[in-house]
Structure 1
Amino acid sequence: MSKFHNERGVTLLEVLAVTIIATIVSIVLMSILTNSKITNDKQMISTIQLSDTTYILKVVTKDTRKSTKILMKALDEYTEYILINNQNNQKYTYVYHRKNQTITRNDEMIAANVLDFNIEDKRSHIIIDITTPNSKSFSSTIYFRGGS
């Protein structure tokens, strides 16, 4: 009878307890990893949008500073802005397509996923507005010396 008394081993209850604990720990770790990936993806999208918007503002600001006149033509599907420089007859044409949410500069696409784009000429300054897909609005104001 004492034959079973000294046997060493793992009982089914101990294996079940370890399995349950390991499962709970792995579920918690997977939840943490999934949430951190989702947060990382959101931040990456936000960073890319900010970078794209900064680029657009930089290019439009540079061309606007070179220009002496801005013409705007608004239609249902797109708005066209023509920036003209009288010194060397250089012309920049920006077209914002509402349907596919893109901005082109001289027929070359410079931005996608733009909800709204506007260049407003106010005699002494120009306002450039851009709205990104997450409804963040970015604006740049260019003031001219001497109040053109």
Structure 2
Amino acid sequence: MYTLTGFVEHGDARARELGFPTANIALEGEDTLDGVWVAYVRCPDGNIHLSCVSIGRRQTFYGEVGRLLLEAHLMNFAGDLYGQLLEVELVHFLRPQMTFDSAESLTSQIHKDIEDTVAWKAEYGHYLPPTASVAKI
């Protein structure tokens, strides 16, 4: 498990346009955590949300030159997190980053990633407190 913290910033709203709003946190450094993850996100109010998290450079739209970004789609969440400090615990690796030939094929994969996230929680249960060290971004 890996735990990251960072402040939510405005993105280009592409995920929202595709139907999957995300909380975006810019990352620095190497791409060692690249991929799609099951995660739990702790909000400033203390609520914890199951999340499907993508870490990468959004290569479908930006190739290899996009900036490294954590994008968290929080399940059962509606609200504004801009400027808020989030704690993101990555608990299960789902798949590596992929390049898609269209927004439609990306959208189909995101639906599958969310289904896989929910299925993982159904099989492995409730949230466990962080056990790894916290890396501040």
For this structure pair, what is the TM-score category when the shorter chain's length is used for normalisation?
under 0.3
Choose between structure 1 and 2: higher helix proportion. Answer: 1
Structure 2 length as normaliser, TM-score?
0.25
Higher Cα Rg: structure 1 or 2? Answer: 1
- TM-score norm. by structure 1 comes to 0.24
